[in-house]
Chains A and B, each alone.
Chain A
């Protein structure tokens, strides 16, 4: 079993929809959680960064962490075609500079 599980999709939604992307993990030592966005044939770029449990909002994006359930989510409101990309969750214990990534979910926002 992988340490981090993420549904690969693809997930197709109409423009303006609310998107929910999720990851589950098994290592209770993970303390820091990130979401990266990766456009086709590009490197990943950091989108959101959260520590421990709770919510963090940045514009149309909200990251949510539930450590008791070992479950993290990324919500995208008012989705746009420019949001079409692969979204990767990543996490770390904070004791070493190593990230563990999910496999990524491919999102397509249609007009």
Chain B
């Protein structure tokens, strides 16, 4: 998985609670991404980062926030989890050397269930 770890790998939580997912990389890649994967929707981009403290919204950013204080770590926070946020979350990285065309490498995923 190209030096990408995600934690936790599985989480069950209750509606209304805050949740933070962590992505850690050892590749020193500039770009990091958070996706969610749901049946019938495929992979959808939530937020991405193009450097420390530089982030931008993706296709489905409502209800999510992100932070990147170090090159190697990208955090995804659900401020108040809802059942619609039950999903599998994937982190991805790319080196940004060829903007728009460089390969994205994916982590193993976090399976989140919101009851």
By a beta-carbon cutoff of 8 Å, the part of chain B in contact with chain A is: 1, 4, 31, 40-45, 48, 50, 58, 90, 92, 94, 96, 99-109
Contacts and interface: CB of A to CB of B under 8 A. Distances in A.
B100 A96 contact: yes
A94 to B, nearest CB: 4
Interface in A72-95: 88, 90, 92-95
A80 to B, nearest CB: 23
Contacts of A32: 100-101
Contacts, number: 63
Contacts of A43: 1, 4, 90, 92, 106-109
A47 B106 CA distance: 13
Task: Classify the interface of chain A: helix, strand, loop or mixed.
Answer: loop
B103 A101 contact: no
B41 A99 contact: no
A98 interface: yes
Given A32-B101, A46-B104, A101-B43, 12 more contacts: A43-B106, A43-B108, A45-B105, A96-B99, A97-B31, A97-B48, A97-B99, A98-B48, A98-B58, A98-B100, A99-B43, A103-B41
A42 B101 contact: no
A44 B100 contact: no
Contacts of B45: 98-99
A45 B58 CA distance: 21
